[in-house]
Structure 1
């Protein structure tokens, strides 16, 4: 008849380590190797997806850059148009002022000519 002997700490620890090793070996046996065609196919799919993602990102960045350049050109054109309109408005205002001044000078010259004519007529009557 065998006598039951209770295991000590070291024996329990060793049994746990052995169980872990057995589980690890079992898991390794179920895992496919790097040479497996399915693993290589998944790796190729991931690589293709990464390349496509990088290409889409590059396309988005290119479109973003083009949009920024287009907006900068449009903004510059609007600023140039606004500047040209302001310049044209300033010229029109200046021309209006010149016309007004020339009319005032012409009116003043006409009044002076009438006054001189009256003065000359008065002098002629006195002589």
Structure 2
């Protein structure tokens, strides 16, 4: 004899409806009681999201600055290498021109000496 009274179908239905109604009122009361804390939690979440976005934007800005600095540095190094190569080529050309000039001068000096000897021999023979 667990239940002393006889539970009819209508009694069970009314008990279930009362239980649902009490659960609903408890839920509504908890929801209204939690609204201020929920609003503060929502504001905290929004501030966290804003801070996260600001940090991400700062990281992106730093990455972009680093990338442009590296690209600028690479471009300067490339320009310096090209200038060094051009200077080396010009130095080679000037050295080659100087060598050719010396060879031409030496050849002219040899011809002048040969002509002088020829003229001296002709003057002795005459």
**If the length of structure 1 is used for normalisation, what is the TM-score?**
0.76
Please name the residue that 1:86 is paired with. 85
Structure 2 CA distance for partners of 1:32 and 1:70, relative to 1, 3 Å: same
Higher percent of residues as helix:
2
Structure 2 CA distance for partners of 1:99 and 1:41, relative to 1, 3 Å: same
Aligned residues: 117
Shift of 1:36: 2.1
CA deviations on 1:73-117 (whole Å, 9 max, x unpaired) are 111101110011011101100110011001101111111111111
Q: Distance in 1 between matches of 2:33 and 2:96?
A: 89
CA deviations on 1:53-88 (whole Å, 9 max, x unpaired) are 000111111111111111111111011100110111
Please name the residue that 1:69 is paired with. 68
Q: Distance in 2 between matches of 1:118 and 1:65?
A: 79
Q: Distance in 2 between matches of 1:73 and 1:50?
A: 34
Q: Distance in 2 between matches of 1:106 and 1:27?
A: 115
Residue segments in structure 1 that go unaligned for 5+ positions in a row: 8-13
SS at match of 1:58: helix
Please name the residue that 1:126 is paired with. 125
Cα RMSD (Å) of the superposition? 3.1
**If the length of structure 2 is used for normalisation, what is the TM-score?**
0.77
Alignment of 1:95-114 (within 5 A): 95-114=94-113
